[in-house]
Amino acid sequence: MPAYKAPLRDMRYVLFELLGGDDLTSLPGFEDFSRDTIDAVLEEAAKICEEVLQPLNRSGDEEGCAFENGVVRTPKGFRQAYDTFREGGWTGIACDPAYGGQGLPAAVNTLVEEMICASNLSFGMYPGLSHGAYVSVHTYGSDELKETYLPKLVDGTWSGTMCLTEPQCGTDLGLLRTRAVPSGDGSCKITGTKIFISAGEHDLTENIVHLVLARLPDAPKGVKGISLFLTPKYLVKPDGSLGARNGVACGSIEHKMGIKASSTCVMNFDGAQGWLIGEPHKGMQAMFAMMNAERLAVGVQGLGLAEASYQGAAAYARERLQGRSLSGVKYPDKPADPLLVHPDIRRMLLTQRAYIEGSRALAVWAAKTLDLAKRHADPAERAKAEDFIAVVTPVIKALLTDLGFEATNLGVQIFGGHGYIRENGMEQLVRDCRIAQIYEGANGIQALDLVGRKMPAHAGRFLRSVFHPISDHIAAKKSDPALAEFIAPLEKAFVRLQQATTFVAQKGMARPDEAGAAASDYLRLFGLTVLAYLWAKMAEDSLAKAGQDGFYRAKIGTARFFMERLLPQTGALLQAITSGAKTMMAFEDAAF
Ligand SMILES: Cc1cc2nc3c(=O)[nH]c(=O)nc-3n(C[C@H](O)[C@H](O)[C@H](O)COP(=O)(O)OP(=O)(O)OC[C@H]3O[C@@H](n4cnc5c(N)ncnc54)[C@H](O)[C@@H]3O)c2cc1C
């Protein structure tokens, strides 16, 4: 397994130098988060990820989870690692101090999440799902539910799940069948089968708090008739101690392509006692509080895995000796030159790197905006931040996981046949990354959300929250010759994005299939243009500091590579988008 070193230098660069992270302290509740404090958090996070989580990544993949008599055992070392993680306070770093959390800014938490995913995604699933459950209960739960469950979710003694999926109902939650029957005492009896439930059963915590989507007896059909319930594995007594086992049990676990140390469970609810979260039939709203946070976090999974792959690939390319440089021998004292001399290897490494550093900037930009949306004193600023989050959430989820998958795949290619061999750890990163493109709403569904919901919302107001900073930046920098090599390609991509937007908005209004056919290409064009904007800003900032050290010169070089070698994809994407839906939709069903 390649050793993982948290990329703290780049993380600090993005947070403080690019995005002005120092001003987080001006937000109410963040007064104590000075740069020194944040630095200390990042360093401690790096330590636990590098020293505790990463060493279990390969062994966890080999051993996987085991299921016996309804009990799930996580791989060797996971329990101990979880205890260390929990005792270090990591389960609650981004949670409300009123319930024992540390209230860290989302911008910082995103970087910690990246390190966790890079070092051991399977491990990260357990606290990750708990955090999603925490968000829903914190946002929509009654005071009683909050008092009973949040402190334990925050300190990690209990974990959480989200139970949406059923055998007949994945993307289309309107088909959901799990029932909730009121018991007359304020609770309901939940009955039904959920599948693919991450962390549904395991041996890391004393209790598991399931958030379950189910239908009440009087529920309207479809997604408008779904309610959200909190259903613990063990019932909780009035004094907070654990009581009897509730009517929920794990029926089996899945054997899957990746994240093998994360348990993926069939969960059977058999008259289990559950309590409504939020209002009846408004479960989707409550679940979305959780899912939006999770979607950003899933994007960051792609980013973390890509970083782990890049680190392995870059080290390997320096060490592995094969062939000679096309421009003449570079290391005559060695039997061959290292892979690093070959243009094709550089193409792959720089592709990984340009995607990773651009994605990191985007993820932290979004997370910092989330902090503004929650805490800015001015309601108008909060509303502006909400618009931005609404539109970038599906983009981050889909783009960062797609790029993560491409980047981890390149990592295998750089290792050649050795990348295909399990013990080198590079293929695990590809397998682990693959699920991130599917769960939390498959990437195709994120694209439909972008074109179908976010694009038309409020006559394009959401889109403008992203387009305006880009167009303002182009207008402000266009006449600076020193920046032309970055601003000109950005402008070209932005024009393409606007053309694609007009096409999708107009055609899609008349024929929804047109929007559906364009959606995935549109999301990628959108995402690459946003990355180009961030790369243009990083290049400008680094040009001013290029004399300081190689870090900034590498930034400029990577920015150039992104603009010249990756951003041109936007031309092909626009062409595909504007070719319309006809080639797909005219194809006869019977011919497939
Ligand atoms: C390892 C793992 C962990 C998971 N963890 C959880 C969990 O913790 N909790 C939970 O509830 N679920 C979980 N899931 C389930 C996951 O969220 C679903 O698999 C996912 O939402 C897709 O649903 P599906 O598999 O039924 O696919 P389907 O909904 O059948 O979709 C199949 C394909 O069709 C596409 N598609 C479907 N509908 C449309 C449409 N209207 N338009 C265009 N394309 C469409 C999809 O994008 C997808 O590519 C997990 C799954 C796995 C494999």
19-39 confidence digits (pLDDT tens) = 999 999 999 999 999 999 999
Ligand 1 atom at minimal distance to the Cα of residue 262: 1
What average pLDDT does the segment 210-217 reach? Answer: 97
Average pLDDT over residues 258-270: 98
To test the pocket of ligand 1, the residue of 65, 125, 438 to mutate (highest count of ligand atoms within 8 Å of its CB) is 438
Average pLDDT over residues 78-89: 98
Environment class of residue 583 by beta-carbon count within 10 Å: exposed (0-12), middle (13-18) or buried (19+)?
exposed
In 96-203, which ranges are continuous DSSP H helix? 106-140, 143-155
Burial of 252 (0-12, 13-18, 19+ CB in 10 A): middle
Per-residue pLDDT band at 292 (split at 50, 70, 90): confident
- Tell me, using a 6 A CB cutoff, whether residue 103 lines ligand 1: no
User: Distance, CA 528 to ligand 1 centroid (Å)?
Assistant: 25
Q: Is the pLDDT of residue 190 over 80?
A: yes
Share of the chain above pLDDT 90, in %: 96
Segment 408-423 mean pLDDT: 98
Query: Nearest to residue 59, comparing CAs of 46, 78, 38, 73?
Result: 78
Residue 287 above 90 pLDDT? no
Buried b (16+ CB within 10 A) or exposed e, 475-501: eebeeeeebeebbebbbbbbebbeebb
**Ligand 1 contact, 437 CB (< 6 A):** no
Region 421-425: mean pLDDT is 96
Query: If you average pLDDT over residues 188-196, what whole number do you get?
Result: 98
Whether 313 lines ligand 1, by a CB cut-off of 6 Å, is: no
How much distance in Å is there from the Cα of 449 to the middle of ligand 1?
15
* Residue 169 near ligand 1, beta carbon < 6 Å: no
pLDDT tops 90 at residue 1: no
Residue 519 CA to residue 521 CA, distance in Å, equals 6
- Over residues 90-135, the pLDDT tens digits come to 999 999 999 999 999 999 999 999 999 999 999 999 999 999 999 9
Helix (H) or strand (E) holding 349: helix 343-375
Q: Residue 172, exposed/middle/buried by CB under 10 A (0-12, 13-18, 19+)?
A: exposed
Output the residue whose Cα is nearest ligand 1's atom 6.
197
- 171 CA to middle of ligand 1, Å? 5
CA–CA separation, 397 vs 436, rounded Å?
A: 8
Pair of tokens at residue 535: 């790369």
Q: Ligand 1: which of 121, 129, 163, 165 to mutate, most ligand atoms within 8 Å of CB?
A: 165
C-alpha 16 to ligand 1 mean position (Å): 37
pTM of structure: 0.97
pLDDT at residue 171 greater than cutoff 80: yes
First-to-last alpha carbon distance for the chain, in angstroms, is 41
Q: Nearest to residue 500, comparing CAs of 445, 577, 583?
A: 577
Helix (H, G, I), strand (E, B), or coil: what is residue 165?
coil
Q: How far is the CA of 365 from the centre of ligand 1 (A)?
A: 28
pLDDT for the residue 288 = 78
Please give the Cα distance from 372 to 387 (Å, whole number): 12
Q: Which residue, by CA, sits nearest to atom 24 of ligand 1?
A: 170
pLDDT tens-digit profile of 298-341?
999 999 999 999 999 999 999 999 999 999 999 999 999 999 99
> Ligand 1, closest atom to CA 259?
1
Q: Count CB-CB contacts under 10 A for residue 9.
A: 10
What CA–CA distances, in Å, run from 477 to 407, 487, 499, 553, 567?
A: 31, 7, 22, 20, 19
pLDDT of residue 547: 86
pLDDT (tens digit per residue) in 489-501: 999 999 999 999 9
Q: Give the Cα separation of 480 and 86 in Å (integer).
A: 51
164 lines ligand 1 (CB under 6 A): yes
Mean pLDDT, rounded, for 163-173: 96
pLDDT band (50, 70, 90) for residue 143:
very high
Atom of ligand 1 nearest to the CA of 194: 11
CA dist 415 and 425 (Å) reads 10
User: What is the rounded distance in angstroms from the CA atom of residue 279 to the CA atom of residue 289?
Assistant: 14
Structure confidence at residue 285 as a pLDDT band (50, 70, 90)? confident
Residue 427 · residue 411 · CB < 8 Å: no
Among 178, 266, 439, which is best to mutate for testing ligand 1, by the most ligand atoms less than 8 A from CB? Answer: 439
Residue 445 near ligand 1, beta carbon < 6 Å: yes
DSSP 519-536: HHHHHHHHHHHHHHHHHH
What share of the chain in percent tops pLDDT 70? 100
pLDDT digits (tens, 9 = 90+) for 460-487: 999 999 999 999 999 999 999 999 999 9
Could you read off the pLDDT of 230-243 as tens digits, one per residue?
A: 999 999 999 999 99
Looking at residue 335, its pLDDT comes to 97
- Residue 434, C-beta contacts closer than 8 angstroms, at least 6 positions apart: 257, 258, 405
Known catalytic residues are: 440
Is the pLDDT at 223 greater than 70? The verdict is yes
- In this structure, are strands 207-214 and 188-198 parallel, antiparallel, or unpaired? unpaired
Cα–Cα distance between 189 and 435 in angstroms, integer? 32
Residue whose structure tokens are 């606290």: 127
Mean pLDDT of 192-205: 98
**How far is it, in rounded angstroms, from Cα 251 to Cα 293?**
28
Nearest CA to ligand 1 atom 4: 196
Q: Classify burial at 218, counting beta carbons within 10 Å of its beta carbon; exposed 0-12, middle 13-18, buried 19 or more.
A: exposed
CA of 512 to the centre of ligand 1 (A): 22
* Calpha distance 223→188 (Å, rounded): 19
Of 144-148, 248-252, 507-511, the range with the lowest mean pLDDT is 507-511
Most informative mutation of 126, 130, 445 for ligand 1 (most atoms within 8 A of CB): 445
Q: Given the CA of residue 200, which atom of ligand 1 is nearest to it? A: 8
* 170 CA → ligand 1 middle, Å: 5
| Cβ of residue 442 lying under 6 Å from some atom of ligand 1 | yes
Which residue's alpha carbon is at the smallest distance from atom 23 of ligand 1?
170
Ligand 1 centroid–CA 427 distance in Å is: 23
Q: What is the pLDDT of residues 481-534, one digit of tens each?
A: 999 999 999 999 999 999 999 999 999 888 999 999 999 999 999 999 999 999
DSSP assignment, residue 321? B
Atom of ligand 1 nearest to the CA of 443: 47
